[in-house]
Amino acid sequence: MKTYLCLKNVQKKALPEEFQSDDVRYPEELVEHFLSEFTCSGDFVLDPFMGYGTTLIVAERLKRVAFGVEFEERRWRYVQSILRHPDRALLGDSTRLDAVQLPDLDFSITSPPYMGAHHKENPFTAYATEGYGYGQYLETIKSIYVQLNRKLKPSGHAVIEVSNLKHEDGTTTTLAWDIAREVSDVLRFLGEVVVTWDDTYGYGYDHSYCLVFAKR
């Protein structure tokens, strides 16, 4: 497994105008790399935070069977409109992943909704409601991966793409490291792949981490 990648933070397809102010997609090249590393044709893949469907788009092209779960209905409808298999884009709540009907999974890749240590909004409701603090956010991430672990095959792997966050007041939320610690209680942590971006990434950094886990 390579531990360092340098990618362009560019998208192959523009989003509809209604979504362009909220374009936080990771590029297709990132998904291509990890699907090629950890999966084969016909393998079952899950993105528990589907967003605008990048994982599913790439998986269809590479002949993987990918499912995605999205909380926000407008995003879900958009993703359904662009897939060859729209039934694999699921409207739902990944905090209740046990209730989602899925096959046994070979692989999962996602970038979770971010939260800073001082933020108030709930990332798991598309920031539409007030949350219960950063500690509860991390507990919920862990709970999601407890549920995902039950759906992973014994040979399964999971990748989480995430960054630490620099804030305008000079403080930092060590989001990537905190998520790595929480999920490591559930899955076996294999290490991180540092991804540097040729173009602007955001959050105060020019790099992010792909945290790689295996089924225990």
167-173 contacts at long range (C-beta below 8 A, 24 or more positions apart): 167/116, 167/118, 167/204, 171/117, 171/118, 172/204, 173/115, 173/116, 173/117, 173/118, 173/134
In this prediction, residue 111 carries a pLDDT of 98
Domain that holds residue 138: 4-214
CA 11 to chain centre: 16
In this prediction, residue 84 carries a pLDDT of 97
- Taking only the tens place, the pLDDT of each residue in 90-142 is 999 999 999 999 999 999 999 999 999 999 999 999 999 999 999 999 999 99
How many domains would you assign to the chain? 1
- Taking only the tens place, the pLDDT of each residue in 20-66 is 988 989 999 999 999 999 999 999 999 999 999 999 999 999 999 99
Least trusted range by pLDDT, from 32-41, 99-108, 190-199, 200-209: 200-209
Closest CA to 74 of 87, 58, 89: 89
In this prediction, residue 129 carries a pLDDT of 96
- Taking only the tens place, the pLDDT of each residue in 142-181 is 999 999 999 999 999 999 999 999 999 999 999 999 999 9
In this prediction, residue 200 carries a pLDDT of 74
Closest CA to 158 of 175, 180, 178, 173: 180
- Taking only the tens place, the pLDDT of each residue in 160-170 is 999 999 999 99
In this prediction, residue 32 carries a pLDDT of 98
Handedness of CA 18, 126, 158, 200 (dihedral sign): positive
In this prediction, residue 201 carries a pLDDT of 82
In this prediction, residue 116 carries a pLDDT of 97
Confidence band (pLDDT; 50, 70, 90) for 204?
Answer: confident
In this prediction, residue 202 carries a pLDDT of 83
Residue 181's CATH number: 3.40.50.150
Confidence band (pLDDT; 50, 70, 90) for 1?
Answer: confident
In this prediction, residue 118 carries a pLDDT of 95
> What average pLDDT score do residues 69-85 get?
97
